[in-house]
Amino acid sequence: MGKIIDERILAGKRKINSSAFGICFLALWGILLYRQLILHQDIREYADIFLLTVGISIYVVVNNILQGFYYTYRSRSTQKKTLLIGALTGTIVFSTVQVLIMNYDLTNGKDVSKLILQAIIFLAVWIACQHALFKISEKQADKDIE
Amino acid sequence: MGDKNNKLKLARIERDLTQEQLADKIGVTRQTIGLIEAGKYNPTIKLCIAICKELNKTLDDIFWED
């Protein structure tokens, strides 16, 4: 066996890089929210940051799925709980954004029923997508031991 | 943190090696050897094997707790 790389230093450096990435990632989302909600800028004014943030998010999720890490390390019950909490949070955020941006009138029955219908569709699509992602990730994880 | 690894320290001294000399032979830093001996770092099996080979010992001799 030849000389090996000092794994302790390698792991330490990776940890630093990983936490730096985490900070940048959170900062990017913070900047996006600040520009959208506080400065009320047009999306064209921060399209570069928006694309970068969304691109990185997609990169993280896709790589986790391809490597088989997408919640496969959690128990079935935790997976279901995570799926449900994520779906409900997503639906609440989606509905809130709809009310704020689309100027829905919550005293108008038609608007409310439209909002409820959209929320139900969003919830169903979210759960179906997440379930599919869990399954793909699990398949990828099993591939390594076949 | 884990217990001190006195077996590693004894095996190293038996071979008349300092932490730095052992670290150089394996290709890690002196601090890594020091931390393993102090029980403050859990090495991977790859590093354990490298240490054992260098000290001419088995994994049981150095890393198995009695």
List, for residues A112-127, the tens digit of each pLDDT value: 898 899 999 999 999 9
Q: Do both A58 and A79 map to the same domain?
A: no
Longest dimension (CA), chain A: 75
Q: Which helix (H) or strand (E) holds A144?
A: none
* Residue given tokens 């052992």 in the structure block: B22
Query: Does A8 contact B49 at a Cβ distance shorter than 8 Å?
Result: no
Last residue of a domain, one of A21, A43, A67: A67
Q: Do both A78 and A145 map to the same domain?
A: yes
From chain B, pick out residues whose CB is under 8 angstroms from the CB of A1.
Answer: 49-50, 53
Give B29-64 pLDDT, tens digit per residue.
999 999 999 999 999 999 999 999 999 999 999 999
Last residue of a domain, one of A67, A85, A103: A67
Q: Do both A59 and A75 map to the same domain?
A: no
d(CA A49, CA A69): 27
Q: What is the mean pLDDT of chain A?
A: 88
pLDDT of amino acid B36:
94
pLDDT of amino acid B2:
63
Q: Do both A79 and A37 map to the same domain?
A: no
Query: Does A1 contact B50 at a Cβ distance shorter than 8 Å?
Result: yes
Q: Do both A81 and A128 map to the same domain?
A: yes
Query: Does B41 contact A5 at a Cβ distance shorter than 8 Å?
Result: no
Domain total of chain A: 2
Q: Do both A58 and A101 map to the same domain?
A: no
Q: Do both A13 and A45 map to the same domain?
A: yes
* Residue given tokens 């998010």 in the structure block: A57
Contacts across the A-B interface (CB distance below 8 Å):
32
Amino acid at B59: L
d(CA B41, CA B19): 15
Considering only CB atoms, B29 lies closest to which of A1, A3, A9, namely: A9
Q: Where residue A144 falls among pLDDT bands split at 50, 70, 90?
A: low
Q: Do both A25 and A82 map to the same domain?
A: no
Last residue of a domain, one of A67, A98, A120: A67
Q: Do both A106 and A36 map to the same domain?
A: no
Chain B: residue whose CA lies nearest to A2: B26
pLDDT of amino acid A3:
64
Give A60-91 pLDDT, tens digit per residue.
999 999 988 887 777 888 888 888 999 999 99
Q: Do both A88 and A55 map to the same domain?
A: no
- Name the residue range of residue A78's domain: 71-146
Chain A: residue whose CA lies nearest to B44: A7
